[in-house]
C-alpha cells in the first residue's frame, strides 16, 4: 500500500465514491450534505486528493456510436517489457488512440483503445502502432463499456472492508 493510499480516511473514500458516481453533477455542497460535513471541508479534501495524485482527473464518458463513430476498438498489443511504458506513452500520439492500458503480466501487455471512422482508419492506426514498436496481436470491436465506483469507497464499505 502506498503512502497516499494509507493516508485515505473514511471521508476521503466517501468523497471519491461520490465523484466516481457523477463528478459533473455532484457539487461539493451536495457531497458535504450527504456526509454531514461542510462544503469547505469537501473542497479542501478534493484539493488535497488532487495534489497527491489520488484523483488524477475527471473523464468524460463518450458514446462513440451515438457520436457517429461505429469503430470503437480495443487493440491488444505486445511490447518489450523494458520499453513498455515509453512505447505506451508514445502510442497516445497516434491519431485515433483514446486510451492506453499497460498490463503487468503476459505477452499481451498493452491494450490500446481506439476510435476510427472506417476500416482504412483502423488499418492506419494499426500500422502507426507497429511503427512505434507495438506488435498488434488482436482487435476487438467494443459494443458497450460499463463502470461503477469502487465498492470499498462506498457507504457500505465498513461492512465489507477487510484490511488484512
pLDDT at 3: 52
pLDDT at 120: 93
Once rounded to an integer, what is the mean pLDDT over residues 140-149?
88
Q: What is the DSSP letter of 134?
A: P
Once rounded to an integer, what is the mean pLDDT over residues 60-84?
91
Residue-range domains of the chain with CATH: 3-59 (1.10.10.10), 71-141 (3.30.70.920)
pLDDT at 115: 95
Q: What is the mean pLDDT of the chain?
A: 89
Please give the angle made by the CA atoms of 1, 54 and 49, to the nearest 5 degrees: 120
pLDDT at 144: 85
How far apart are the C-alpha atoms of 131 and 125, rounded to whole Å? Answer: 10
How far apart are the C-alpha atoms of 124 and 19, rounded to whole Å? Answer: 37
143 band by pLDDT with thresholds 50, 70 and 90: confident
Q: Which residue has the higher pLDDT, 163 or 114?
A: 114
Amino acid at each position: 500500500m502506498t503512502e497516499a493510499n494509507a493516508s485515505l480516511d473514511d471521508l476521503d473514500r466517501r468523497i471519491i465514491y461520490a465523484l466516481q458516481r457523477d463528478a459533473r453533477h455532484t457539487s461539493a455542497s451536495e457531497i458535504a450534505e450527504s456526509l454531514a460535513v461542510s462544503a469547505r471541508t469537501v473542497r479542501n479534501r478534493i484539493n488535497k486528493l488532487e495534489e497527491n495524485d489520488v484523483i488524477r482527473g475527471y473523464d468524460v464518458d463518450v458514446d462513440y456510436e451515438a457520436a457517429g463513430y461505429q469503430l470503437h476498438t480495443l487493440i491488444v498489443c505486445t511490447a518489450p517489457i523494458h520499453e513498455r511504458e515509453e512505447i505506451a506513452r508514445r502510442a497516445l500520439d497516434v491519431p485515433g488512440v483514446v486510451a492506453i492500458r499497460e498490463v503487468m503480466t503476459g505477452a499481451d501487455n498493452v491494450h490500446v483503445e481506439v476510435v476510427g471512422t472506417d476500416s482504412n482508419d483502423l488499418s492506419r492506426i494499426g500500422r502507426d502502432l507497429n511503427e512505434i514498436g507495438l506488435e498488434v496481436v488482436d482487435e476487438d470491436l467494443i459494443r458497450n463499456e460499463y463502470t461503477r465506483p469502487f465498492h470499498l469507497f462506498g457507504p457500505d464499505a465498513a461492512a465489507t472492508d477487510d484490511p488484512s
